[in-house]
Amino acid sequence: MRTVVLLASLLLAQVRIPAAQPPVAEPGPVLVISEDGLGADEFRPDTMPRMWALAEAGRRGAVLPPFPATTFNGHVTLATGCWPEHHGVVANAYVEPSDHHLVRAASRVEDIQREPLWVAATRSGVRTAVYHWVGATGPWQGVSPWRMQAFRLGHPDTEGMAWCESALADGAKLVMAYLSGTDEEGHLHGPGSAEVKAKLKQLDDELAPWLTRLRAEHPGLRVLLTADHGMAPMRHRISLPEVLEGLPVELITHGGSAYVYLQRPADAPRAAARLRKAGLTVWPRAEVPARYHLGGSARVGDLVVLAPEGTWLSQARTAREAATERHGRAGAHAYVPEVAAMRAWLVVLGDGRGPLADVPAWDVAPTVAQWLGIRWGQAPDGHAVGTLLEPSR
């Protein structure tokens, strides 16, 4: 009997009873805010001191926009994690190749060809709320987020902030909101103008105390603040109708770049030669540099035109159209991401501290998805930012 007891004791001694594992903490909510047109070069201690102080305790960097750096494709890139040639919103406007009709404002859910983050989140069981974001106008492939407010003119940012706060209070795990930023002031008065500085102060006074309070009310809240593009001051104008006079084309100008749709493909060499003579960079669609991830979409013009920084491209054909364009061209964007003025601000709160390298816009959504365990129906082009996946310190 003694031998049996001894053997049993030895066997029990060899059995390793696993230690009790602490429960896996559910990730805190995430708030993504876009301030339209707020460039990385505009966010400084002298322009937004309260937000700068918050960023000093978080992470600060810049987002590189897609080309052309415009509002609609910028926001859809941020939301899908995909390149413009894949998500299909290749600029604020484009010509739809299937029936050759002009899409004047590519801000509808119908324009988006890849899954937005709010759809992937909803399919993954993450309660999601979206306010005024480009493309959040209805169901995408039959899926709508838990709460959604499509864009409406005339609603102040404070209303959007209250909407986000209510969604978080009601249990949203992901909240995405588009706010006005400095885009209008930059277009009308130019970056660096008194009007832009006044708007930056207003944003600083509104955002900093609000975010401080939200973070106290929602432990574990991560906040990502960014924008679709920056803004550059304009000094010159080039009229594309004058440059291409006599050639039957459809023009869509974005500011510092443009799409030329040819009615006669044989006109391409002549049109390109004239544009280059005017001092512009020109690529046939298939020859757009691969780093811009643009030329693979048939929605892009037959010719893609890029102006030097500080020059904006006009499509006006009458004096009245020209006057309308000039009214909003003290500042412009739509250049390539290498132009420093196009870089958008980036602040991350609640995920460690320290500087961030420049982040391509298509890496934003994959990062948020990784934070919240969101599963994509189709893997996006971008990748989660490794620095933002490290343990907080």
**295 and 368 part of one domain:** no
Q: Tell how far CA 359 is from the center of its chain.
A: 11
**137 touches 109 (CB < 8 A):** yes
Count CA atoms within 13 Å of residue 141 on its CB side.
Answer: 11
pLDDT digits (tens, 9 = 90+) for 193-231: 999 999 999 999 999 999 999 999 999 999 999 999 999
DSSP state letter for 215:
H
pLDDT in tens, the chain (393 residues): 444 444 444 443 444 444 444 454 578 999 999 999 999 999 999 999 999 999 999 999 999 999 999 999 999 999 999 999 999 999 999 999 999 999 999 999 999 999 999 999 999 999 999 999 999 999 999 999 999 999 999 999 999 999 999 999 999 999 999 999 999 999 999 999 999 999 999 999 999 999 999 999 999 999 999 999 999 999 999 999 999 999 999 999 999 999 999 999 999 999 999 999 999 999 999 999 999 999 999 999 999 999 999 999 999 999 999 988 888 999 999 999 999 999 999 999 999 999 999 999 999 999 999 999 999 999 999 999 999 987 554
CA–CA gap between residue 368 and residue 376 (Å, rounded): 12
**CA-CA distances (angstroms) from residue 10 to 1, 100, 149, 232, 290?**
14, 82, 66, 77, 67
Count of domains for the chain: 2
Tell me: do 128 and 274 sit in the same domain.
no
Same structural domain, 358 and 316: no
84 within some domain? yes
Domain containing 269: what range?
235-329
CA distance 67 to 193: 25
Give the C-alpha separation, 208 to 260, whole Å. 43
Same domain, 85 and 171: yes
Is the CB of residue 127 less than 8 Å from the CB of residue 171? yes
pLDDT recorded at residue 390: 74
| pLDDT confidence of residue 25 | 59
Which of 123, 80, 119 minimizes the C-alpha distance to 363?
A: 80
Residue 18 lies in a domain: no
Are residues 180 and 111 part of one domain? yes
Residues near 89 by beta carbon (within 8 Å), at least 6 away in sequence: 72, 73, 76, 77, 106, 111, 112, 134, 135
From 31, 40, 51, select the one nearest 206 (Cα to Cα): 51
Closest CA to 94 of 241, 211, 259, 204: 259
96 shares a domain with 158? yes
Q: Is residue 4 part of a domain?
A: no
Instruction: Express each pLDDT in 111-136 by its tens digit.
Output: 999 999 999 999 999 999 999 999 99
CA torsion, ordered 356, 393, 165, 362, to nearest 10 deg? 30
DSSP annotation string for 23-44: PPPPPPPEEEEEETT-BTTT--
Residue 323, C-beta contacts closer than 8 angstroms, at least 6 positions apart: none
Q: Judge if 211 and 102 occupy the same domain.
A: yes
In this structure, the answer to whether residues 147 and 200 fall within a common structural domain is: yes
Residue 74 backbone phi and psi in degrees, to 5? -65, -45
User: Is residue 278, in this structure, part of any structural domain at all?
Assistant: yes
pTM of the entire structure?
0.93
**Residue 36, in any domain of the structure:** yes
Please say whether the beta carbons of 199 and 188 come within 8 A.
no
227: domain CATH number is: 3.40.720.10
Structure tokens at 250: 């459809």
CATH number at residue 276: 3.30.1360.180
Collapsed DSSP state (helix, strand, coil) of residue 269: helix
List the beta bridge partners of residue 95: 102
